[in-house]
Amino acid sequence: MNFYDTIFYFFAFVTLVSAAIVVFSKNIIYSAFSLLFTFFGVAGIYVLLNADFIAVAQLLIYVGGILVLLLFGVMLTNKVVSVEMKTGTLQTIPASIIVAMTAGALCGVFYMTDWKIVRSVPQMTTTANSLGEMFMTTYLLPFEVASVVLLVALVGAAMIARRDRAIQNLKPKI
């Protein structure tokens, strides 16, 4: 087992263990913070796969944006002292059936498909240049649509989370 393998298994272990903590922890704060380690582990695996730009974007967007947003959600909706979380015992059997089916389908597809692989190992190059070029040429329209989606979603989020009283104050005072 060489260095590369060791790093892969380390990141995979970190990712999976912290993902399991996210799902099975009784304390929502622990879940939120172990989600941080999941995101870091996935970012590390992106680096292993030579996706440098995506790894940085993962850190910026997920760790810097989504995780902070989730923590705000936790703080705003939970009395941190009284952590009451029930894990829906009723749905356990249907849930385990669905989970088993999902896992079986995924593993079956992954192992039985004859993937068309060009390289046996990822090549050591940077991707930021080619990604930027593709965003500005082939994928220009989706790129612009994505920016509009973000704008609309953020305006909508601000609108939804606003208090009603504040909305009434917005009405024109003539």
Partner 1 sequence: MTGIALHHYLALSAILFTIGVVGVLTRRNAIIVFMCVELMLNSVNLSLVAFSAYLGNPTGQILVFFVMTVAAAEAAVGLAIIIALFRNKQTVNIDEINIMKW
Q: Does 32 bind partner 1 (CB under 8 A)?
A: yes
Closer Cβ to partner 1, 82 or 174, answer by number: 82
Q: Does 19 bind partner 1 (CB under 8 A)?
A: yes
Residue 95 in tokens: 């849930």
Q: For residue 41, which of 63, 6, 14 has the smallest C-alpha distance?
A: 14
Q: Which amino acid is at 121?
A: V
* Contact by Cβ (8 Å): 36, 15: no
Distance of CA 25 to the CA centre of its chain: 18
Count of alpha carbons within 13 angstroms of residue 83, beta-carbon side: 12
In the bound complex, what is the minimum distance in angstroms from residue 174's beta carbon to partner 1? 29
Touching partner 1, residues 80-139 (CB under 8 A) = 85-88, 91-92, 94-95, 98-99, 102-103, 106-107, 110-111, 115-123, 127, 130-131, 134-135, 139
Q: Does 33 bind partner 1 (CB under 8 A)?
A: no
- Of 56, 59, 63, 74, the one binding partner 1 (CB under 8 A) is 74
